[in-house]
Homo-oligomer: A and B are copies of this chain.
């Protein structure tokens, strides 16, 4: 007697416009998760690394790295959203809304905000707005992502096509609420690793983050399981050996975290990732690849009513097996250059 109690994942036909999905397995985040995060990416932003530093500027203790929160919230959504996904097409409107501290419990829900069958009738694009909440029900994070999902049956009828209108970028008046009013007098720039404040960066400035980090299978698997992300392509060599690339694919979030950690060298005081305006995983990353990163300052913004921190809109680009001295991005034909892994449009906050 074969059980039908396992989760086969949702197919395109299973998603309904307006549907709200409660994702299983809430997760209490701890200093253990923080230690693992540091050990996997080598991140060095002082606010997240030192309770003493965080307290000196007005936090009760070090908050979690924003991307650790992101991956925890995202990981929960994989069993229902992307188990049968072919591709994670993009992110938009991602905002960090409340600091998360060790001991907080995170849970995720997703609302289906768009659906569009592809012309081949074999797949469709699903747009979801996912929300992470803490144990008090406060929203700590929300973001939109869209994924290409297989249909169960090509002959099934298509739903009405609804494509959400997504803003090009998060409005700077809507960011920064996860950062309490800070006492910048307590911010020790020597300990933070750089004298450069928000005012020292200019639009158009490009920063080669210099260092490179080679990824191992054990590392990305440990990271991705830490987030309880269940996407099969990251973990199963037995099936992936017969798959598209012949090997396991690194969870894109690992590349984002690595690029963000590398960005410390040059953006040392950009301690808070306030928003992800948009992002694309341009090409897949595999174990053995060495990841480099560079950033470009796209825009500067003051935050309404705040003199403590300012926002830089930066493009964060990750590249594999090629250093970033020449800021690789696109070829003459407009296609991404070989080796580009990630093109992420973010708002980061720095002390003023």
CB distance from A262 to the nearest CB of B (A): 10
- A30 CA to B62 CA in the complex, in Å? 12
Contact of A214 among B22, B28, B222, B235 (CB under 8 A): B235
In the complex, the answer to whether A5 meets B266 with C-beta atoms within 8 Å is: yes
A216 contacts chain B at the CB level, 8 A cutoff: yes
In the complex, the answer to whether A26 meets B50 with C-beta atoms within 8 Å is: yes
A88 contacts chain B at the CB level, 8 A cutoff: no
A40 contacts chain B at the CB level, 8 A cutoff: yes
Q: Which of A31, A79, A224: most chain B Cβ within 10 A?
A: A31
Residues of chain A from 18 to 57 with CB closer than 8 A to chain B in the complex: 22, 24-28, 30-36, 38-42, 44-46, 49-53
In the complex, the answer to whether A190 meets B221 with C-beta atoms within 8 Å is: no
CB distance from A231 to the nearest CB of B (A): 10
Chain B residues lying within 8 Å of A38, measured Cβ to Cβ, are: 225-226, 228
Question: Per-position contact with B for A306-326: 1 when CB-CB < 8 Å, else 0?
Answer: 000000000000000111000
- A119 CA to B222 CA in the complex, in Å? 45
Residue of B nearest to A213 (CB): B235
Chain B residues lying within 8 Å of A201, measured Cβ to Cβ, are: 3, 5
Question: Per-position contact with B for A161-197: 1 when CB-CB < 8 Å, else 0?
Answer: 0000000000000000000000000000011111010
Chain B residues lying within 8 Å of A235, measured Cβ to Cβ, are: 42, 211-214
In the complex, the answer to whether B25 meets A50 with C-beta atoms within 8 Å is: yes
Question: Per-position contact with B for A192-235: 1 when CB-CB < 8 Å, else 0?
Answer: 11101000111011111111111011110111111010101001
Place the interface of chain A in its size category.
Answer: 35 or more
Chain B residues lying within 8 Å of A41, measured Cβ to Cβ, are: 225
Chain B residues lying within 8 Å of A194, measured Cβ to Cβ, are: 5, 7, 24
In the complex, the answer to whether A44 meets B31 with C-beta atoms within 8 Å is: no
Known contacts A1-B205, A216-B218; is A238 also within 8 Å of B39 by CB? no
Contact of A219 among B44, B205, B222, B228 (CB under 8 A): B222
- A281 CA to B34 CA in the complex, in Å? 31
CB distance from A119 to the nearest CB of B (A): 31
Task: Identify 19 residue pairs between A and B in the complex whose beta-carbon atoms are under 8 Å apart, listed by A's number.
Answer: A5-B268, A22-B190, A24-B44, A24-B193, A24-B194, A26-B49, A26-B53, A27-B50, A31-B31, A40-B222, A44-B228, A44-B230, A50-B107, A52-B105, A212-B238, A213-B236, A237-B288, A238-B290, A239-B290
